[in-house]
Structure 1
């Protein structure tokens, strides 16, 4: 009983089929695929591609995307089997509940908070930077004090008062090539600028507030907005790929895998080891594809449409990542791409493509906004499912009587995301988000194998091929990624887990619906 209690697959299916007082089923395979693309294509294609090429793999970064894409596909195939069997909004939390018990399910649900809630805040801050830059180019300056949080992180762990270096007109001074030219107040003053301390990241707050309101109004309205935004960024990405290939200099691809170099600290980069090392870096570009499974109870035909949405979005995005990495490393030397805006840096190398740079900024703004939308959509639905299981207060399970969305949970998540994005430093959260996500991926992969052994007779509308090979490869790949995380991240994950398990033992276990049912039978 208790921590080892499992939910019946039959009961879960019955819950999924019951629409009374539940979420509204409006999403088809196309909407779910677009949700997946909306979650995946964001900072990864506009930032990580250049970073991984310059620092690790050179032009061979396209091979890193192949490796990361395969690892993610293994996990995606496992997600697809569970999603077709158990079309519940809880995603990996629900799958763990059915295979490994309530304690593991809580652990995964708690880690998914890292993936969705903290990732939404982190990406919103990135969106704020691109959006403010676009406004600056148009002659509209966001006051520096209202474009950044009051705190930031330096040296990977030290929290300090944040500031922005501006010139006499209030325009932010930026040196994309060095990134450190205005890193201290003394350097800012020496460059003729003035340090302005941050008060609140207002653009990030405004974005989260608007998207939260949209999500409360209805999932179909949110999906329509997401479809439009995804179409915009897809068109821009395809323009860069299409026109970029016309100006590729093949000499920039030679050698395709640069000779390995030893750094002063003894570490290495480039060579085949660099390609392998870049794979975990670019793997994080795919974080969010599992958000498709959180829309299970709003899918018209979840047994068919959920696997299509997850697998199709993964395949489409992997192809786009590979093509984009080939174009970028073909337009400019890979050593020039280690900047905050690598796509623009690649385009600057070809004067004929200058006209694409502003479109790339639009694509980045569109891409990041859709990522925030999908993250803010996923977290309330996991809370909704956990609340219906008694592990969270009932307020999280309240459905709006008109819009049929988890409105209370959506507003709670939105307000917390606003506070995090507007006021707190996010430098410590990036790898913490990744750790929580990878734990969920590995658990789902292992769960598929466990359920195949324990309950082979269950109906599976979609079956993961080559079990146990595919689940083992998926779990092995994600655990390898976790192994690469630094010690500080592991320490923070330990603290986060301790807080979560304490909450479970104090509240969740005592209020668990299945726990009360089992106690009543004794």
Structure 2
């Protein structure tokens, strides 16, 4: 009985699944589309939203170091993801990789963890999208009622507060709209993403270029604020905690790997798109955090639209840039919501095909060839989270889920090199075991730096997952039935 919990899928079985068309998904994505999907997911809340929150609450101007530390951990994990993506070109990302290396129970744990990651990531970005839309409308004298434009709850260092609002309507609206687009088809989704990625990269470069001349060096003093005596509140512990909080901003390459069954040449293109998107986005993240903390004092940055605030503070010299930045940011955040919604639906799709979730999640639309049931259910719960929860709480939950997924993938490479040393690898993680061991270690250290409340919420989430697994998934597991 215990042994059954760790039943694995062989590489041969996974390769057969990848080469068959029984899943009903169409292969439309080339290298450029995959790379833009990665950039579309990565350049979003990390730059446009959580940079300010993490600077004010944790690291101050040293948030730059937090981004560099997170990027280092992501590079290590990204190299491990690249090997898996080339070997196992199936939707499901770390969930599928865990099935091949650690068995079904761990695959369930990481799959359920990925649901947490994508659900709250999308909701986080939707709240940020709402903040920028409200800021943009205010420039034209249009104001939504406060009761319909913010979260009913607020969460800060003092705990929970009731805001008096009813729901964050703009956040709900964008999730519903993009859910509908995902149902229509992957080709339409990719076209929309490609356009918005170009727009937001241009916007980020404009902000960095013109913001440099409006930096006030005194805003960088002290560059590393003195720790207040509380772990994670400034000082070096704040840098470490900040890196954990913003870590979820790098999950774009994770989302790329969930589209394996829609890639034309996954064994070649997935590793390249993962590493390309990570490189481009790291450079832009560091540049934006440098300029942002130089333009506005870090103590004032805990807002839903920090870049919009910086532009407004720039005075007449930057006033012309304000609508461009805000439109570009709104478009950019839209693509992040789109890609992370896409990622979650493909995780559900893979788990349902393995029998671990209900069959409806594995059904594809007869006309659009998309997993429409999983898309609609995902959209509903994401909209609910975005409508009622504050951005800081959502971001912390995403980070711990992302870090756990990355750590498991790094460990999985060590296992696969031991159990399948001669398996063909289109891409090989360099310097094994150094890279995967260090990658897992960096992820675990950042997890330990996160607030204890975040750990408690992860434990509760996992407890709910175990109820579903032992109540349904274990009884309907396709792998278990195959081995009877």
Report the TM-score, using the length of structure 1 for normalisation: 0.85
1:8 and 1:46, CA in 2 relative to 1: closer, same or farther beyond 3 A?
same
* Aligned positions of 1:265-414 closer than 5 A: 265=229, 275-332=239-296, 337=301, 339-347=303-311, 348-349=313-314, 351-414=316-379
Matched, 1:482 2:483: no
Match of 2:106 in 1: 104
Q: CA deviation at 1:130?
A: 1.9
1:492 and 1:63, CA in 2 relative to 1: closer, same or farther beyond 3 A?
closer
Q: CA–CA distance in 2 between the matches of 1:332 and 1:425?
A: 22
Q: CA–CA distance in 2 between the matches of 1:243 and 1:237?
A: 10
Q: CA–CA distance in 2 between the matches of 1:222 and 1:100?
A: 33
Match of 1:514 among 460, 479, 483: 479
Q: CA–CA distance in 1 between the matches of 2:74 and 2:329?
A: 23
Q: Deviations over 1:174-216 (max 9, x none)?
A: xxxxxxxxxxxxxxxxxxxxxxx42x33322221121111111
Match of 1:209 in 2: 176
Aligned length: 481
Q: How well do the aligned residues superpose, as a CA RMSD in angstroms?
A: 2.5
Larger C-alpha radius of gyration, 1 or 2?
1
Give the secondary-structure state (helix, strand or coil) at the position aligned to 1:142.
Answer: coil
Give the secondary-structure state (helix, strand or coil) at the position aligned to 2:49.
Answer: helix
Q: CA deviation at 1:365?
A: 1.4
Give the secondary-structure state (helix, strand or coil) at the position aligned to 2:421.
Answer: coil
* Aligned positions of 1:255-274 closer than 5 A: 257-258=223-224, 261-263=226-228, 265=229
Q: Deviations over 1:427-471 (max 9, x none)?
A: 644322222221111100000111001111011111111111110
Matched, 1:219 2:221: no
Q: CA–CA distance in 1 between the matches of 2:433 and 2:201?
A: 35
Give yes or no for contact 1:75–1:444 (8 Å, CA) kept in 2.
Answer: yes
Match of 1:9 in 2: 11
Unaligned runs of at least 5 residues, structure 2:
none
Give the secondary-structure state (helix, strand or coil) at the position aligned to 2:9.
Answer: coil
Give the secondary-structure state (helix, strand or coil) at the position aligned to 1:500.
Answer: helix
* Aligned positions of 1:162-177 closer than 5 A: 162-163=163-164
Give the secondary-structure state (helix, strand or coil) at the position aligned to 2:258.
Answer: helix
Give yes or no for contact 1:28–1:305 (8 Å, CA) kept in 2.
Answer: yes
Q: CA–CA distance in 2 between the matches of 1:434 and 1:152?
A: 20
1:327 and 1:303, CA in 2 relative to 1: closer, same or farther beyond 3 A?
same
Give yes or no for contact 1:26–1:299 (8 Å, CA) kept in 2.
Answer: yes
1:48 and 1:147, CA in 2 relative to 1: closer, same or farther beyond 3 A?
closer
Give the secondary-structure state (helix, strand or coil) at the position aligned to 2:26.
Answer: coil
Report the TM-score, using the length of structure 2 for normalisation: 0.92
Give yes or no for contact 2:183–2:368 (8 Å, CA) kept in 1.
Answer: yes
Q: CA deviation at 1:155?
A: 5.1
Q: CA–CA distance in 1 between the matches of 2:454 and 2:123?
A: 18
Give yes or no for contact 1:27–1:299 (8 Å, CA) kept in 2.
Answer: yes
Q: CA–CA distance in 2 between the matches of 1:346 and 1:143?
A: 24
Q: CA deviation at 1:294?
A: 0.6
Q: CA deviation at 1:325?
A: 2.3
Q: CA deviation at 1:6?
A: 0.2
More helix by percentage: 2
Give yes or no for contact 2:247–2:399 (8 Å, CA) kept in 1.
Answer: no
1:400 and 1:249, CA in 2 relative to 1: closer, same or farther beyond 3 A?
same
Give yes or no for contact 1:26–1:300 (8 Å, CA) kept in 2.
Answer: yes
Tell me which moved more, 340-349 or 381-390: 340-349
Unaligned runs of at least 5 residues, structure 1:
164-196
Q: Deviations over 1:217-240 (max 9, x none)?
A: 111110110111111111111111
Q: CA deviation at 1:422?
A: 3.2
Q: CA–CA distance in 2 between the matches of 1:467 and 1:350?
A: 52
Match of 2:32 in 1: 30
Q: CA–CA distance in 1 between the matches of 2:471 and 2:388?
A: 30
Match of 2:208 in 1: 241
1:159 and 1:62, CA in 2 relative to 1: closer, same or farther beyond 3 A?
closer
Give yes or no for contact 2:113–2:405 (8 Å, CA) kept in 1.
Answer: yes
